[in-house]
A and B are shown apart, each in its own frame.
Chain A
Amino acid sequence: MPETRELTLGEAVREALAEEMRRDSRVFICGEDIAEAGTVFKVLTGLVDEFGKERVLDTPISEAGFTGIAVGAAMTGMRPVVDIMFGDFVTLTMDQMVNQAAKVHYMSGGKWKVPMVMRATLGATRRSAAQHSQSLHAWFCHVPGLKVVLPSTPYDAKGLLKTAIRDDNPVVFFEDKMMYRLKGPVPVEEYTIPFGVADIKRAGSDITIVATSSMVQVALGAAKLLEEFDISAEVIDPRTVWPLDEKTLIGSAKKTSRVMVVDEGYERYGVTAEIASVIAEGAFYDLEAPVKRIGAMHVPIPFSPPLEDATVPTEKSVFEAAKALCSGGL
């Protein structure tokens, strides 16, 4: 076992950025209030002291503009990391990500590359209401040319972010705001985590719960509750939703024969739908029940705490659905 220490997810992200910026002078970060302020979540605190204001670049409140500049800079020799304060604001960058970044390589017949990372946040339950709480990662999964990363632990966040920065494609990296203070072991030594490799966060034999981002913690909590009912849940984190490690997901589904998919994005047409379909196609004859999905409710995220809590998957809702699935009911 390599030597580790406990870091928060926020610290892990910061460490990944600092290491990559030391390693490669072409890497820079741009976004709103990221330098002295260190972002509204204080994730980047201190980076400006080491790397200066040119490499930790405060921008105007122009998400489309600085994302577009990052696309052009990436094409011409830099490796930008764009910071989008709240994931809800990715809507402002959509043309630059979808019609520009994602397509430049293909449209140019493979000649231009766009090695950039967009870091954005996701996640509800901060009582931030409809425009500061969404998880819009599925939008990017829908577009060929982009890669989409959803870390669930400090260890994964660091290793995946380093891989994202070294990748020659546009990568969108989503951090759950509620997980920034989540602690976990992170090796002292340098490491990276390849894309497209799911991680079995908990082995089990009765049901597979595929979960992403903070829903992994929710699923692990539900798995503990299920234990009391003698239900052994396997929790799998795809870690990157595109590329998707279909093999591991299907393999686990075949083993347990029951599958739930949990993701904090809107359930309709969301990540859960795609993963459920991959599993249904790949493991159909080994399944004892339809694949069950739980995502965010099809409503704008409300402000009032009891309302908001009803919209996203919780330990309890995942536990109950899993238990029903295992006892034959749906």
Chain B
Amino acid sequence: MTTAIDRSKTYSEIEAEQWLRMYRRMLMIRVFEEQVNDLYTRALMPGLAHLYIGEEAVAVGVCEALRQTDYITSTHRGHGHCLAKGAALDRMFAELLGKEAGYCKGKGGSMHIADPDTGNLGANAIVGGSAGIATGAAFSARRLKTDQVSVCFFGDGALGQGLLYEVMNMAALWKLPVIYVCENNLYNEYAHNSETLAGDMLARGSAFGLHAENVDGQDVRAVYRTAREIVDHVRQGAGPAFLVCQTYRFMGHHVGDINREYYRSKQEEQMWKTERDPIKVLGDWLTAQNLADRARFDQIHAEVKSEVEKAVQFAMAAPYPSPDKVGQDVYA
């Protein structure tokens, strides 16, 4: 009983500026993550870092279809979602470095960025752990009669978690405005998902009556168009949806995952990087359409690079929280 989405309804031609904005966002995430990699390998960043490089089109395409007041929940691989939803680079870096100026005053770190101002309910380091929260936010939107929608980002590994199916069932029963976005990057840590997933991925959503759709997660235009249609329907009360984005992480599971050949080949990685890089895919299309030229791209690259550099400098210079803050914020 999946709700049919009206394909004949075309959106007005999206301005080149909007595609360029998405290009810029994806690039910002890419350069941010490269910077994280650098900080981490130079031992300037504590903890763990799960890079989003290669998957930028998913977060950017989906979040472009959202309003600032819409909700998202994110994952351990969450920097991209937070930035795509509007987080500022400097406070992101500050949080990753454990500084007081960070989004969570240094108490959350890389895996827990949260920001009410951009509707970010929080990144979550429990695989699949935010499915309830995202669904609950949709529940509030329904009850409080706001027209917000809620997006739950999660990896293909989260399809192994029962919570997801419990809340999908309730979201469908109660027609909640929630979209479950599965980032299928093929791997759960160091295991290919052919070893962890039985049956059909999309059917996991359609079994509950969710509108379920697959999209090429390396093509931001496809992600955006599909997300836009789904978001509109969900916002109008059509009930929840399940969007599977086919994507790939270019780097290791986390920054320290260097030798990966025991679970995936260099050729496979190379293929994705050269042929399926979301930034290149969009760049090539923009060039072919004569919507941007070399000079324009160079300008964007230079601007993004300088913004990221400034943000890192801010975070490096920012003070750590004083240890006496450790007991604050346990209770509201």
Show the binding face of A for B, using Cβ within 8 Å: 28, 54, 59-60, 62, 64-78, 80, 95-96, 99-100, 104-115, 144-145, 147, 168-169
User: What is the predominant secondary structure among interface residues of chain B facing chain A?
Assistant: mixed
Determine if B62 is an interface residue (Cβ-Cβ < 8 Å): no
Query: Smallest CB–CB gap between B74 and chain A, Å?
Result: 12
Interface pair B107/A109, CB less than 8 Å apart: yes
Interface pair A107/B108, CB less than 8 Å apart: yes
Interface pair B107/A107, CB less than 8 Å apart: yes
Determine if B140 is an interface residue (Cβ-Cβ < 8 Å): yes
Query: Smallest CB–CB gap between B235 and chain A, Å?
Result: 16
Could you say which of B114-122, B180-188, B219-227 contacts chain A? B114-122
Interface pair B140/A72, CB less than 8 Å apart: yes
B205 neighbours in A (Cβ, 8 Å): none
Query: Smallest CB–CB gap between A285 and chain B, Å?
Result: 28
Query: Smallest CB–CB gap between A25 and chain B, Å?
Result: 9
Show the binding face of B for A, using Cβ within 8 Å: 71, 73, 102-108, 112, 114-116, 121-122, 124, 126, 129-141, 143-144, 150, 162-163, 166-167, 169-170, 173, 328-332
Interface pair A72/B331, CB less than 8 Å apart: no
Contact among A65, A111, A144 for B132, CB-based, below 8 A:
A65
Interface pair A169/B143, CB less than 8 Å apart: no
Q: A68-B131, A96-B132 are in contact. Are A106 and B330 (CB under 8 A)?
A: yes
Select from chain B the residue with minimum beta-carbon distance to A96: B132
Given contacts A77-B144, A78-B140, 10 further A-B contacts (CB under 8 A): A62-B170, A70-B136, A72-B132, A72-B150, A75-B121, A95-B126, A96-B132, A111-B114, A112-B116, A113-B332
B167 neighbours in A (Cβ, 8 Å): 62, 65, 68-69
Bound state CA distance, A112 and B118, in angstroms? 12
Interface pair A73/B105, CB less than 8 Å apart: no
A71 neighbours in B (Cβ, 8 Å): 132-133, 136
Q: A73-B140, A111-B104 are in contact. Are A100 and B166 (CB under 8 A)?
A: no
A112 neighbours in B (Cβ, 8 Å): 114, 116, 121-122
Q: A99-B129, A109-B103 are in contact. Are A72 and B328 (CB under 8 A)?
A: no
Interface pair B133/A144, CB less than 8 Å apart: no
23 A–B pairs (Cβ distance < 8 Å), ordered by A: A64-B166, A66-B170, A68-B135, A68-B167, A71-B133, A72-B139, A73-B137, A75-B133, A76-B136, A77-B144, A78-B140, A78-B143, A99-B129, A100-B126, A105-B331, A107-B122, A108-B104, A108-B114, A108-B122, A110-B332, A111-B115, A112-B122, A145-B331
Interface pair A65/B169, CB less than 8 Å apart: yes
Select from chain A the residue with minimum beta-carbon distance to B115: A111
Inter-chain residue pair count (beta carbon < 8 A) = 149
Interface pair A72/B135, CB less than 8 Å apart: yes
Q: A104-B122, A110-B332 are in contact. Are A75 and B136 (CB under 8 A)?
A: yes
Interface pair A107/B114, CB less than 8 Å apart: yes
Interface pair B163/A109, CB less than 8 Å apart: no
Q: A60-B169, A99-B126, A100-B126 are in contact. Are A109 and B132 (CB under 8 A)?
A: no
Q: A60-B173, A62-B169 are in contact. Are A169 and B115 (CB under 8 A)?
A: no
B144 neighbours in A (Cβ, 8 Å): 77-78
